[in-house]
Structure 1
Amino acid sequence: MFTGGTARLLISNEGTAPLEVTVEPWADLHRLPPDRTCVVVTHSPTADGSWSGTLRKNEPFQVNHRPDSVTVWANGVCFHLTDTDGNTIEADDSHCPARSPTS
């Protein structure tokens, strides 16, 4: 059973063109249509639920924004891209303790 922490980050596209969303360090690219919101979900790599952080310790995400794109650095062991209802859009489940068959 998975006992680490889970973090969620909502990203909304309020523009008129698709927004490019990249999730690092997996270099996963997704296009978010206008007037849509997605959720980046990641799981802590440690049993106590702490995060390594990118610029500061114990932060699950770092976000870099440009006019037509957003890059999200997820500091977990895996990520899932979902809609706001929790339905999976894209996922890197290869090393995900929270989504393994034994959890």
Structure 2
Amino acid sequence: MEMFAGRTARLVVSNDDEMPLELMLEPWGDVHRILPKETCVVITHSSAEDGSWPGTQLGDEPFQVDHRRNSVTVWANGHCFHLSDRRGNEIDPYIYGGCPAQNPAT
């Protein structure tokens, strides 16, 4: 069994507003709504042996965030992503092959 040898990055996204916040996750184009006063954690994994984050426009960074009124776009520069709450409970489990959270033997 081969263990995951890359790095994992987490980005906390909170909605302190009274209206839902649209969270767009790129480059997958998936949308999640963060309800008022809710917090979620975007988790991505770099599978690169050296732990680098491919695809980033700002250097070797795991995330790029673009904020607009009522929405936020998170570019996760790993090879997959998933969402959890602050306690680590999965939110809207996604099935993306090769994501260590769903398949630790990648």
TM-score, length-normalised on structure 2?
A: 0.88
Q: Pick which of 51-60 and 90-99 moved more.
A: 90-99
Secondary structure of 1:102 counterpart: coil
Superposed displacement of residue 3, structure 1: 1.1
Matched, 1:93 2:96: yes
For structure 2, list consecutive stretches of 5 or more residues without a partner in the other structure.
Answer: none
- Aligned 1:14-93 pairs, distance under 5 A: 14-90=16-92, 91-93=94-96
CA RMSD of aligned residues (A): 1.5
Superposed displacement of residue 57, structure 1: 2.0
Superposed displacement of residue 53, structure 1: 4.6
Secondary structure of 1:54 counterpart: coil
Same amino acid, percent of matched pairs: 57
| Residue type of the alignment partner of 1:49 | G
Judging changes above 3 Å, is the alpha-carbon distance between structure 1 residues 92 and 76 closer, same or farther for their aligned structure 2 residues?
farther
Deviations 1:22-75 (A, max 9, x none): 100111100000001000000003022111252222100000000100000000
